[in-house]
Amino acid sequence: MADRNKRLDSNAPGHFYVDATCINCDTCRQLAPLSFEEVGDYSAVSRQPDSESQTHQAYQALLACPVGSIGTEHSDKEQLRSAMASFPIQIETEVSCCGFNSEKSFGANSFFIEHPGGNWLIDSPRYIKHLVEVFERRGGIAHIFLTHKDDVADADKYAAHFGAKRIIHRDDADAVPGAEWIIDGEETVRVGPQFRLIPVPGHTAGSMALLYRERFLFTGDHLWWDPHTKSLAAPIRLIWKRWTLIESIRKLLDYRFEWVLAGHGDRVQLSSAEMQRQLMALVERREKGSGLR
């Protein structure tokens, strides 16, 4: 719970604020970009919400914050209930963003796919009653796809509750003792006609992406959208092997998709042609910066 006594001076005056426990994970800035910005080493309320929709988004950010750094000057239970009920937030059709980001994964996003052959959880949110009940109403969880070792969070608790099969690459498997499905090597693995598990080593040795319906690409910390440069981005630090990362980005040119849904960083929807152009531009920037061209 946020502490008024630790309210950052960088906050705009008013109802919402961020306190000094903020870990600057970007969760609030993704959910309520008109209200929160990065100021120095923290997020802060750059502008108080001035509409119902902005207020709703700010309460979503408050609930999703992995360390409870967002507070309000007075309690509004109705707004909180409305924001709570909005999670998971639908992105499109059967794909949703879970919210309730976990401190264990430094506030990484997680996602949920409703599928007639069994639902999928991509990385893990906090293990909380609200999400458990929502997942139960929607048919449970059959698979938990873990993009890499950093974003495992409470996957073991969800797996135990729902009897779900945890999927992780062998090179990151030490983060999930007892995982039910270990992926080996760098070959893409097909799961039925709609799912492809794509090893993309670079950020970690065992990083993977999940392609669903040749439309949605769940990327973990491998790839994301940068709203400031309006371009795709990838890690420049905390990298296992820089050259391998570039080759893993290039590997995605073999696939078609319209959404990038990232663990850290913004999500984006583009045409498949524009996504290809963005990927190629990213590869070229990285090759040039690394002295490969």
For 115-142, how does the pLDDT look when each residue is reduced to its tens digit (9 = 90+)? 999 999 999 999 999 999 999 999 999 9
For residue range 71-112, list pLDDT tens digits in order: 999 989 999 999 999 999 999 999 999 999 999 999 999 999
| Average pLDDT in the chain | 96
Predicted local distance difference test score (pLDDT) of residue 290: 62
Helix (H, G, I), strand (E, B) or coil at 83: helix
Average pLDDT over residues 218-238: 96
Helices (H), the chain: 27-31, 52-64, 77-85, 129-137, 155-162, 242-251, 272-289
Average pLDDT over residues 202-223: 98
pLDDT range class, residue 234, cuts 50, 70, 90:
very high
- Given 3.40.50.2300, 3.30.930.10, 3.40.50.670, 3.60.15.10, which CATH number is that of 87-289? 3.60.15.10
The CATH code that applies to domain 4-84 is: 3.30.70.20
C-alpha distance from residue 147 to each of 11, 16, 93, 167 (Å): 34, 33, 22, 9
Rounded to 5°, angle at Cα 189 from 183 and 194: 130
Count of beta carbons in the 10 Å neighbourhood of residue 229? 8
Helix (H, G, I), strand (E, B) or coil at 133: helix
Average pLDDT over residues 238-246: 94
pLDDT range class, residue 291, cuts 50, 70, 90:
very low
Percent of the chain with pLDDT over 70: 99
Question: Residue ranges of the domains in the chain?
Answer: 4-84, 87-289
DSSP tag of 4: G
